[in-house]
Structure 1
């Protein structure tokens, strides 16, 4: 049996590594969108704070969503536990706690990632170096994921690592849809092509989730909003869709003991996706309600994992029959 402290550290390592990669991709794509679109398009920096759920914390220390302040907060701020640098650091600590279960080469990859990110952190702010820095974070996180996938046994330890990654990935997809796509779905003139920057902005949503090319491959030209939302929610073959992440989580859970309760929680969220109605992705209000439901389901699944595997109640003392 895998010790609960190892299971928890691997689970959170998976979540932190996925969070670092996803945040780097968000910042990178939003920077390109900000530079490509004219000021009249109204592209600001507050949506990034909303996606990451860090708006209140940011505004508690800054006067407004200025570009450099937002990027620094999301990329390298050590006080923001969701920043890229903090996520990499927390992933490294989590993997250190379970180092005996990891291939040596993979642990060296994450150590080099942390050292490089800390040494080059200033490059994350300047526009001239920001995109390259974000690309390097993404590449190094993917290198680590590939190293672990290629060298770890497909056992309980790897299962918890994968569950953490897939739940964090599903959560990020839902957040992006709720904040960014929710602004775009149902805009006047969408079907008539009345919004001059609509396709570019929708492409930004897809690219922020590494989904643009696969969406175009399956849907053809154009980026109709509701079709993009359905792709990101229910496409069973796309590894960043919510359905794919939940299915992968369920497969990993089947290899673990005492998995009945977490599996039931996973099934509830998947059932909500299967019952998805077209109206729920055609209007911002319905989409927001759907995103809230899915977020609540994933949060409940996290709690069930915690109770089942990480916060075990002490067993009652054995009763010894009198002689």
Structure 2
């Protein structure tokens, strides 16, 4: 397989996953604000922190209110991480590799781009936002399911899985880091709502129902962290994503340094004490930073080993690592 094709499949999967994750986070955050007391302004800037785009936002907008943040995250073409930009980049990466993937996948990607173009006002409206985001999430699931059931599970599919699972692992750490920050501080106003906030951490990753099946007890910080970071069975947990990445790399040539990096990450997360990290002042933020740095290093190793240097992807890669 040409390195250019491998790179495009890898990035296509990352952008589809990123668009889906963004849609889910916006929906969950919108609902969370309705559950918290009015005297506590949870704010919209936490979404900017999760995506690592707060600096770019501040260059383009004066105030981080709902209207500006939603527009920035959904439709702003100046934001390479907006839903519209992600789906555009996904289409561009797939456009020149249409002979590798099923024709139906290309049609679905085009349908999603047309849906965004024709229904953008719905995403910006709080009243119609939930349905808009549901369509983005559903379209992403359709593409992922179609590729899993109709594409040859060869090297090309391995690069798709690599991109998707690295993006998932990165987003999981970002959500845990930012969403739990308020929960690990002393807030007299928010203390009675701690359960609701931990639930929002789970719902941001569509993990609430699976958590209840697995843990069988009320939502508590240590159990949430263990489930989202250490579960081997939940598809969006950090550990499960690493398992998938390991499986993909095992089938690819020249994988020694890559497998060592994955094993180091898996050992790091397995040995972590989540009961300690669920306490105030525990250093969870610093620990998550370590995980993200190791993920960025893994991405760099994959790029150096398998992909040719392509200037058009430099900006996108820096965005993914930020």
Task: Indicate the TM-score class for this superposition, using the shorter chain for normalisation.
Answer: over 0.9
2:14 match: 15
Bigger CA drift: 7-16 or 61-70? 61-70
What CA distance in whole angstroms lies between the structure 2 residues aligned with 1:121 and 1:300?
Answer: 36
Aligned pair in 2 of structure 1 residues 24, 39: CA closer, same or farther (>3 Å)? same
TM-score by length of 2: 0.92
Instruction: Tell me: CA distance 1:148–1:249, structure 2 relative to 1, closer, same or farther (3 Å).
Output: same
| Residue 287 to residue 266, structure 1, CA distance change in 2 (3 Å) | same
Larger radius of gyration: 1
Match of 2:295 among 284, 295, 298: 298
CA contact (8 A) 2:17 2:168 kept: yes
Q: Which stretches in structure 1 are left out of the alignment for 5+ residues?
A: 313-323
Residue in structure 1 matched with residue 241 of structure 2 by the alignment:
245
How many Å apart are 1:221 and its aligned residue?
3.4
Question: Are 2:215 and 1:219 equivalent residues in the alignment?
Answer: yes
- How far apart, in 2, do the equivalents of 1:123 and 1:86 lie? 17
Assess if the C-alpha contact under 8 Å between 1:110 and 1:144 holds in 2: yes
Q: Deviations over 1:43-75 (max 9, x none)?
A: 211100100001111111112211011011001
Change (3 A) 1:219 1:8: same
Helix, strand or coil for the counterpart of 2:60? coil
Aligned to 2:69: 70
Question: Given that residues 230 and 281 in structure 1 are in contact (C-alpha distance below 8 angstroms), is that contact kept between their aligned partners in structure 2?
Answer: no
Structure 2: gaps (5+ residues):
310-322
Deviation at residue 288 of structure 1 after TM alignment: 0.5
Q: How many residues align?
A: 308
Q: 2-side partners of 1:157 and 1:283: how far apart?
A: 44
Q: Which residue of 1 aligns with 2:201?
A: 205
Task: Give the deviation of 1:186 after TM superposition.
Answer: 5.9
Instruction: State the partner residue of 2:115.
Output: 116
8 Å Cα contact 1:185/1:225 also seen in 2: no
- Does residue 149 of structure 2 align to residue 150 of structure 1? yes
CA contact (8 A) 1:113 1:140 kept: yes
Contact 1:246–1:270 (Cα < 8 Å) also in 2: yes
Instruction: Answer yes or no: is the 8 Å Cα contact 2:180–2:198 preserved in 1.
Output: yes
Offset, 1:37: 2.3
**Superposed CA RMSD:** 1.6
Secondary structure of the residue aligned to 1:100 is: coil
How far does the alpha carbon of each residue in 1:242-264 deviate from its partner, in whole angstroms, 9 at most, with x for none? Answer: 00000000001111111112111
Kindly state the Cα deviation for residue 210 of structure 1 after the two structures are TM-superposed.
0.7
CA distance in 1, matches of 2:279, 2:268: 17
Looking at structure 1, the residues matched to 69 and 215 of structure 2 have their Cα atoms a distance apart, in angstroms, of 34
Give 1:3-152 correspondences, 5 Å limit: 3-152=2-151
Contact 2:122/2:128, CA 8 A, preserved across alignment: yes
Q: Deviations over 1:80-100 (max 9, x none)?
A: 000011001101111112111
CA distance in 2, matches of 1:281, 1:43: 20
Structure 2 CA distance for partners of 1:105 and 1:286, relative to 1, 3 Å: same
CA drift of 1:297 comes to 0.5
Matched, 1:232 2:225: no
Shift of 1:284: 4.7
Whole-Å separation in 1 of the counterparts to 2:206 and 2:190: 26
Contact 1:182/1:284 (8 A) holds in 2: no
Q: Deviations over 1:257-277 (max 9, x none)?
A: 111121111111111112212
The structure-2 alpha-carbon separation of the partners of 1:296 and 1:219, relative to structure 1 and needing over 3 Å to count, comes to same
